[in-house]
Copies of this chain bind each other. A is one copy, B any other.
Amino acid sequence: MNKVQIIHGPCSLESYQQMDQIIHELLPISNVFRCGIYKPRTNFDSFQGLKKEGLQIIHDLKIKYPQVKFCVEITEISQLKEIEDIDIIQIGARNMQNYELLIAVGKTDKQILLKRGFGSTVSELLSSANYIKAQGNSDIILCERGIRTFSDVGRFTLDLAAVGFLQEQTEYPIFVDPSHAGGEVLEVTRLTKAAVAYGVDGLIIEVHPNPSQALSDSEQQLPIEEYKQLIAKINS
């Protein structure tokens, strides 16, 4: 089994059936699943997630799969009281410096996956982690997901040097999100292989049973078969 920790799953939770299929297929690879239920979208008229309906689906899935852990992004303090079934709280890139939210999740006893903002330095990422830790919660994963640069190729430029630096400077596991950095399937697979070879502690990666029909980010989610082959290759 691979030493790289994996969090996988769809960009958005879309239905019980969708998530049930994904868990069934991917559970042999990792028991930690991601799925968006509160979706922070750049455009206000894009799909914003199933919200409470999604939480009910997760509640039902945890009965069927008690060994599964769920990682869900939250975007507002008021959501905290709704997410008792969630195991890992994700703070997304856009909220990395939403300090009220950082303080609030720092008061929970859940694991926090904190993504680096695409315009933020590594120092600022560490300062944001300190907001969480100062509340008493040091069960934190830091995640590099690509930064804004002048480059005319790719979606974001994956800053692998941040991973090595953070591994040397902190005790936290350092993850990479190749899906948001790569932006399309082929590049996501290449960046995943690169990140694992570089030495990341973990990956958070988007997988969907039918990406072309996905309600969000359809281009960057890996189809299940392609994803299984990628994981087999990484583990070989």
Contacts and interface: CB of A to CB of B under 8 A. Distances in A.
Interface stretch (A2-10, A11-19, A36-44, A201-209): A36-44
Given A43-B130, A75-B99, A130-B44, A191 B198 contact: yes
A60 B158 CA distance: 44
B158 A162 contact: no
Copies per complex of this chain: 4
A82 interface: no
Interface of A: 40-45, 75-78, 94-95, 97-100, 103, 117-124, 127, 130-131, 134, 147-155, 157-162, 164-165, 182, 186-187, 190-191, 193-199
Contacts of A194: 160, 194-195, 197-198
A160 B198 CA distance: 12
A117 B77 CA distance: 21
Given A42-B124, A127-B42, A157 B152 contact: no
